[in-house]
Amino acid sequence: MGASEEIMTKNLDKTQFDQWFDQRFESKMTEREDAHVASLAIIATKGTLDWAYPPFILASTASALGWDVSVFFTFYGLELLKKNLTLEVSPLGNPGMPMKMPFGPQWLKDINWKIPNLVMAGVPGFEKVATGLMHQTVKNNGVATIEELRSACIEADVKLVACQMTVELFGYSPDDFIPEIQDWIGAASFLPVAQKSDVCLFI
Amino acid sequence: MNTVATQFLDARGLNCPLPILRTKKALNGMAAGETLSILSTDPGSVKDMQAFCKQTRNELVASNANAGEFEFFIRKA
C-alpha cells in the first residue's frame, strides 16, 4: 500500500473502507488470475491404442492453450513412450466399442457387428484385425495418429516423465524408449507436481 | 472490419484436436497484429476455436460457415 493510500484509508469510515477493500481485492485477484499460467498433470496408465488417445489429446491441446503440462507414464502407460509404437486395441470385454467396417458401401459401414466375446476370444489374430480396422477408421476420419500427437506434445514442451519402478518391474530396457523422456521418477516426485496443478487426471 | 489475412491454414479433413494444434503452430510463426485465416471441416472446431482464442487471448475476428466448411480469422495478440 502506498503512503498516500494509507493516509486516505485513515480518513475513511467503515463502509467506505469496506468498499475500497472490496474493489482493491477484486482488482488484485483479477491481476493474479491474469498472470497465472494454468497447469495440467496427467497420470497415463493404459497401453492400448484406444486409451493412448486421451492423454496425448488433452496434453497437446492444453499446451496449445498455453498451459504447463506434465504427463507421468506408469505401468502399461509406458507403452506409449516406446520408440516403436505397437499399440493394439481389443474389443474383447468392451461392449461400448462399436465394431464397424471402415470401408465398403455405406450400408456395410453402418452395420455394428455384435460379435460374442466367446468368438472374439477364440479367433486367433482377432486383436490384430480390430487394430487394423481402428487404424483405418482413424485415417478415414482425419483423426491424428498417436505418433503425430506425441510429436506435437514433444514440440510443445510437454514434460514427459516415466515411472522408474515400472521399468524394473516389466524388465524394460531404457533403450526401448524415446529420448525425449525428461525424467525417470517415482510417485514421490510426481505427486508434488500434481498437487500444484490446476487440473489433474488419472487416465 | 478488416479481415485480410496474411497467413493461411488449410485444416480441412482434420479432426479434433489437429485444427487447434495446427492453428497454434501457425500463430507461433506470426507477428502480433497479423491475421491468420483457417479453413476447417470439423464441426467441433467452431466451439474449439472460440475457446482457444479466449484462453490464448488472440482475437477471433470473424467466423463463417458455409456448405460444411468453416472459416476463421484470428488476429494474433
Using the beta-carbon criterion (under 8 Å), do B18 and A148 form an inter-chain contact? yes
Instruction: Give pLDDT tens digits for B6-53.
Output: 899 999 988 889 999 999 999 999 999 999 999 999 998 999 999 999
Instruction: Give pLDDT tens digits for A149-193.
Output: 999 999 889 999 999 989 889 989 888 999 999 999 988 889 999
Cell digits of residue A125: 489374430
Residue A161 and residue A184 in contact, taking contact as beta carbons nearer than 8 Å? yes
ipTM tops the 0.95 cut:
no
> Regarding beta strands A199-202 and A183-185, do their DSSP bridges make them parallel or antiparallel, or are they unpaired?
unpaired
Contacts with B2 (C-beta within 8 Å, 6 or more apart), sequence order: B35, B61
Helices (H), B14-59: 18-28, 45-56
Please name the residues between 9 and 68 in chain B that touch chain A, using a CB distance below 8 Å. 13-18, 20-21, 23-25, 41-42, 52, 55-56
Cα Rg for chain A, rounded, in angstroms? 25
Tracing cell 505418433 back to the chain, one arrives at: A147
Using the beta-carbon criterion (under 8 Å), do B21 and A152 form an inter-chain contact? yes
Active site residue B16: yes
Look at residue A4 in the predicted model and tell me its pLDDT.
Answer: 59
Distance from CA of B1 to the nearest CA of A (A): 26
Contacts with A136 (C-beta within 8 Å, 6 or more apart), sequence order: A102, A103
Q: Structural domain boundaries of chain B?
A: 7-75
Strands (E) in B1-77, as ranges, are 7-11, 35-40, 59-66, 69-75
Question: How far apart (Å, rounded) are the C-alpha atoms in residues A65 and A60?
Answer: 9
Instruction: Give pLDDT tens digits for A39-93.
Output: 999 999 999 999 999 999 999 999 999 999 999 999 999 999 999 998 998 888 8
Please name the residues between 103 and 142 in chain A that touch chain B, using a CB distance below 8 Å. 141-142
Which residue among A66, A144, A155 sits closest to B55, beta carbon to beta carbon? A66
Report the 10 Å Cβ neighbour count for A4. Answer: 8
Under DSSP, is residue A106 helix (H, G, I), strand (E, B) or coil? helix
- CATH number of the domain located at residue range(s) B7-75 in this protein: 3.30.110.40
Please check the confidence at residue A1 and state whether its pLDDT lies above 60.
no
List strands edge to edge, sheet with A159-163: A183-185, A159-163, A68-73, A39-44, A199-202
Tracing cell 490446476 back to the chain, one arrives at: A198
Q: Give burial (CB, 10 Å; 0-12/13-18/19+) of A174.
A: exposed
